[in-house]
Structure 1
Amino acid sequence: MNIIIAAGTGFLGKNLEQYFTEKGHQVHILTRNPKRENETYWDAKTLGAWKDLLENADVLINLTGKSVDCRYNAENKKEIYFSRIDSTKVLQQAVDQCISKPELWLNASSATIYIHSENRLNTEENGIIGDDFSMNICKSWEKEFFRVNNEKVRKAALRTSIVLGNNGGAFPKLKMVTKLGLGGKQGPGTQKVSWIHIDDFCRAVEFIIDNKNISGKVNVTAPEPLSNVDFMSKLRKEMKIPFGLNAPVWQLKIASVFLKTETELLLKSRNVYPEKLIQSGFEFMFPDVGSAFQDLV
């Protein structure tokens, strides 16, 4: 296959590139800072020479978007919004101009689109979508993505949760915190953590590519979300760290200012189930967090 990954130099993009390259596929990256032969410059806002790469491509994967691991001030909020909307919009323009369009377009989204929920399991079919900054970003992003419907281009929005891997993302930070003895519960500890192992994330993307019946919104999460207190407890156990100090909400609020992040990333309850993947026959290598930690630690 010929696969194009927009903004493919981050944690997810690097792992997808390695995964598909090892399987013999051709992967090309769109990036603001091209350094290798298979990388092409784009600014994620305007059409350029990069659009020719989409001609005859099999799969387009868009991972563009400013990281939400920042303070939600006016400037950052604006960048979080426009980095997602502008890139999706310009990719649509490029796809529209293709004579031979990509068969499949996968666009990043987030499991954060669902409301804070400790008891209700959110599936694609019955998940409740709420109204706050993060959820509205996701709604606007998906609305822009699905705005144009072309029967030749199958589209899927990847509602991804925390992806666990050793070479990026949140997991190295969680391990460091745990090693320092700070790996207790965060806030109340009852908030649910939806997660997925990086290997299963790559396999799920491949599964969606191979299964032409899958389209629309897809929850890309492991089937067993668990409470924050259990998540941290299992991580401590696997790392053989005997104790972990708890972090109350007031402490997290102070720390988040110094770390230039937001407490929502730790305190929001993401209780998400991958119904579409499961019903389509996808089998997780790491269905429970214990097996994921065993592999990664």
Structure 2
Amino acid sequence: MVTPTVVVAGASGFIGRYFRRRFAAEGWQVRTIGRDTSADAQWNDDGGIAKALNGAELLVNLAGRTVNCRYNERNRREILDSRVQTTRSLGVALSRCDEPQRTWINASTGTIYRHAEDRPQSEIAGELGSGFSVSVARAWEDELAAASTPLTRQIPLRIAIVLGRDGGVMGPFRNLARLGLGGHMGRGTQKFSWIHVEDLFHSVLFLHERPELSGPVNAASPYAVDNRELMSLVRRSLGVPFGVPTPAWLLGMGAVIIRTETELVLKSRWVEPRKLVEAGFAFQYPALADALNAISRSSR
């Protein structure tokens, strides 16, 4: 039996590290593309990228600078370039491969949709938003679509906020709750769409195995919660009985101090994974309470 090969681009982040471990555990040979010298190919080496891609069955691109920062001019440029230029490099390299991948799953973001408290945003009927984060998501997906890869199916994966033990947003949320500041943020009515990192991994395998599915695809639990419920569940998972709410004006001041943006907690992200659900994907962690409890247990 031939061992399948996956290329994970942007493999040094929280999701990338998790994917590398899980693919290896599932019997895949893993090649990596990144900025680290330990990667099989670096971003500034087009020939090396093509060599890493050639003959692999699946490409998963997770590259992108963190958005947990102030959106000044320099950071905006780096956030955009880290997504668009890496996607462009992969497209050029794939066009040079004698044996290109069957599937190219390229990270995108559920933030591409508008602020939505009225109804969920599906791949079919979702409405795209406006602003810097949305413009980055549009450019990211446009670059993927521009790649000439006739033998490779392209899927922009619109990922909701990813939860897991070793990264993502859970660290700051848990720290706030432990300090007694784990109440709702702003009005608390904004939706929080999320996905456990294990379900994200299995959604990638699911999409790869189903050639009839094409992008974009939303990767999110089918059960979004609002911010009030989110923070209540975070406190409950930690055994913290009470949390002080944080008004929007105070969040704005705090965001400046810790050098981030309030959009990360105040934008209402209501992402509906209609394609995955209709195709029969089974979530291991569909409910946020179960996901948070599993993360808390694994962190002890």
TM-score class, shorter-chain normalisation, is over 0.9
Q: What's the offset of the Cα at 1:120? A: 1.4
Identity value in percent: 37
3-state SS in 2 of match to 1:117: coil
1:33 has 2:32 as partner: no
Contact preservation (8 Å) 2:6, 2:56: yes
Aligned to 1:88: 87
Q: CA deviation at 1:165?
A: 0.4
Match of 1:107 in 2: 106
C-alpha separation in 1, matches of 2:10 and 2:197: 17
1:122-137 maps to which residues of 2 (within 5 A)? Answer: 122-137=121-136
Which aligned pairs between 1:1-297 and structure 2 lie closer than 5 A?
A: 1-35=4-38, 39-43=39-43, 47-297=46-296
1:123–1:275 CA contact under 8 A, matched in 2: yes
Deviation string, structure 1 residues 93-144 (Cα, Å, up to 9, x no partner): 0000111111110101000000000111100000000221111110111011
Q: Deviations over 1:231-262 (max 9, x none)?
A: 11112122110110111111111111111100
Tell me if structure 1 keeps the 8 A contact 2:91–2:149: no
Q: CA deviation at 1:151?
A: 3.3
Work out the CA distance in 2 between the residues paired with 1:116 and 1:160.
Answer: 16
Q: CA deviation at 1:9?
A: 1.0
Cα distance in structure 2, aligned partners of 1:173 and 1:48: 40
Query: Separation in 2 of the partners of 1:30 and 1:147?
Result: 21
Quick one: distance in 1 between partners of 2:209 and 2:76?
36
Match of 2:121, SS?
Answer: coil
Structure 1 pair 184/17, CA: closer, same or farther in 2 (3 Å)? Answer: same
Cα distance in structure 2, aligned partners of 1:242 and 1:71: 32
C-alpha separation in 2, matches of 1:229 and 1:49: 48
Question: Unpaired runs of 5+ in structure 2?
Answer: none
SS at match of 2:46: coil
Q: TM-score, normalised by structure 1?
A: 0.96
Q: 2:240 is aligned with what amino acid?
A: I
Distance 1:154 1:113 in 2: 21
Q: Which deviates more from structure 2 when the two are superposed, residues 207-216 or residues 263-272?
A: 207-216
Question: How far has the Cα of 1:50 moved from its partner?
Answer: 2.9
Q: 3-state SS of the aligned residue for 1:216?
A: coil
2:158, 2:218 within 8 Å by CA — same for their partners in 1?
Answer: yes
Runs of 4+ in structure 1 off by over 4 angstroms are: none
TM norm structure 2: 0.95
Q: Distance in 2 between matches of 1:272 and 1:131?
A: 16
* 1:207-249 alpha-carbon deviations (Å, 9 max, x no partner): 1111111211010000001100011111212211011011111
Residues 42 and 48, structure 1, Cα contact 8 Å, conserved in 2:
no
Q: CA deviation at 1:34?
A: 2.5
Distance in 1 between the 2:279 and 2:148 partners?
A: 23
Residue-pair matches, total:
293
Alignment partner of 2:216: what SS? strand
RMSD of the TM alignment (CA)? 1.2
- Measured after TM superposition, the shift of residue 46 of structure 1 is 5.3
